[in-house]
Structure 1
Amino acid sequence: MLQQWLPAIRIVQIILCFAVIVFILLQARGAGLGSAFGGSSAGSVFKTRRGVERLIFNLTIIFVVLFALISILSAALIR
């Protein structure tokens, strides 16, 4: 009965995958490997997120959780 929903679930999974990629790329500004190994990261570690930056961060978390739940549901339906 739920097998008929599998193509729709996979389409939603693909859309969520691209949304997660876009939101992660929107966050990655100036945080390179240099700062991980003691490079000049003046104040970027303890910076407070505000406004749009906070919205993008929260949406990223929501999309990652939705992607994980949809993936688990998809795996359960295949069995």
Structure 2
Amino acid sequence: MQAWAPALRVIQIILSVAVILFILLQARSAGLGSIFGGTSAGSVFKTRRGVERLIFNLTVIFVVLFALVSVVMMLLPA
């Protein structure tokens, strides 16, 4: 199992960068259109659609994968 340790480290680094990027792509309490100069006219609650929903779902998936890889690395013998 020790042979997998370097590969798991690389996977964990890639996942961490991806999670950071996906989180930064999400605009807080605004739609994706507000990033490019649009306005969110007072809408506090709205459903995610299109690219926003995809980015949100990918963020959740990558966070879960990151957590699983972290747990597996923790369980590996030193």
TM range (shorter): 0.7 to 0.9
Q: Distance in 2 between matches of 1:15 and 1:52?
A: 22
* Cα distance in structure 1, aligned partners of 2:69 and 2:9: 8
Deviation at 1:78, TM superposition (A): 3.6
Structure 1: 5+ residue stretches without partners: 32-40
The 2-side partners of 1:55 and 1:30 are apart by 16
Quote the offset at 1:55 in angstroms: 0.3
> CA RMSD for the aligned pairs?
1.6
- Indicate the structure whose relative CO is greater, using CA pairs within 8 Å and at least 6 residues apart: 1
| Aligned residue-pair number | 67
5 Å matches for 1:1-79? 2-27=1-26, 29-31=27-29, 42-44=42-44, 46-79=45-78
In the superposition, the TM-score normalised over structure 1's length comes to: 0.78
Q: Deviations over 1:19-53 (max 9, x none)?
A: 000000000x254xxxxxxxxx8213x11100010
Percent identical across equivalent pairs?
Answer: 63
Matched residues in 2 for 1:22 and 1:53: separation? Answer: 14
Letter in structure 1 aligned against 2:18: A
| Contiguous gaps of at least 5 residues in structure 2 | 30-40
Runs of 4+ off more than 6 Å:
none
